[in-house]
């Protein structure tokens, strides 16, 4: 189930206060592929072991937050640097 539009409108990065938007499906698929290959670490440096159901990305394109069961996880250390999408 997609995240509620009203909730999405008020969410922002807890660190930078930059607004977030839904992570495009192509980027979500690419990120989950790298997660499956055990190549993704979060901001705290821990390996991301579980694929994302959905994701939010800051509008400046720097940080990705996971959304599980339509609930955004905005814990700063569990954010994923968007640079993890790069090869």
Please tell me what DSSP assigns to residue 27. Answer: H
pTM score of the predicted model: 0.94
- Residue ranges per domain, the chain? 5-85
pLDDT in tens, 20-51: 999 999 999 999 999 999 999 999 999 999 99
**What is the predicted pLDDT for the residue at 1?**
62
Are 50 and 42 contacting, i.e. CB atoms less than 8 angstroms apart?
no
Place of tokens 């969410």: 11
End-to-end Cα distance, the chain: 30
Mean pLDDT taken over the chain: 94
């Amino acid at each position: 189930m997609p995240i509620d539009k009203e909730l999405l409108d008020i969410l922002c990065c807890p660190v930078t206060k930059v607004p977030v938007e839904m992570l495009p499906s192509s980027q979500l698929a690419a990120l989950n592929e790298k997660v499956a290959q055990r190549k993704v670490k979060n901001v705290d440096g821990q390996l991301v072991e579980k694929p994302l159901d959905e994701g939010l990305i800051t509008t400046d394109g720097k940080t990705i937050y996971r959304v599980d069961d339509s609930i955004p996880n905005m814990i700063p250390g569990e954010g994923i640097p968007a640079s993890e999408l790069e090869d």
